[in-house]
Chain A
Amino acid sequence: NAGVTQTPKFRVLKTGQSMTLLCAQDMNHEYMYWYRQDPGMGLRLIHYSVGEGTTAKGEVPDGYNVSRLKKQNFLLGLESAAPSQTSVYFCASSVPGEGPHEQFFGPGTRLTVL
């Protein structure tokens, strides 16, 4: 099993450009998440999904959109990139409900916006 994979691993954008980050998981998890990680700050939730066809906003959703057309995939879109979106983006997945349901993370995408 590959677990959680992310593409691309690195990307450099110019201000105003758009791009889509792809996350895929092969663990049949219901829940999927997109986080950003910036120096000196905790992981911040951008958007999440509790199942195929559903998405919800997290703590920092502005400037991002998401789609979950298939259970195994969760896409994060930047419509018009800004330098403030320079960050490391992590996708994660988990099973739902109470208990020690750990989140499994992908390797991350390092995005620089010039």
Chain B
Amino acid sequence: DAGVIQSPRHEVTEMGQEVTLRCKPISGHDYLFWYRQTMMRGLELLIYFNNNVPIDDSGMPEDRFSAKMPNASFSTLKIQPSEPRDSAVYFCASSRQDQPQHFGDGTRLSIL
């Protein structure tokens, strides 16, 4: 079975540009999670969805960050405008209710 698929794997862009990260969850999973990982702060939960509806976005750092899930098979995390401190690895994960989360291989984002 295909796992969680994230794209792009790597993104390098200049500060001020819009960045869009994409995630395709595992088919049949009704929960989707976005995480960010940095050396300083470790792995942090940003937002999660249930049945395409955002449930908890308390981890989203600020208004520059937004996430959407237009359908059960696709989600985006957008940063606009991007800043150097947004540089991190961003992970997407999905799960069924009360089942283990399965993670993608992440997007390594560098903002110059």
Q: Do A and B come from one complex?
A: no
Interface residues of A (CB under 8 A from B): none
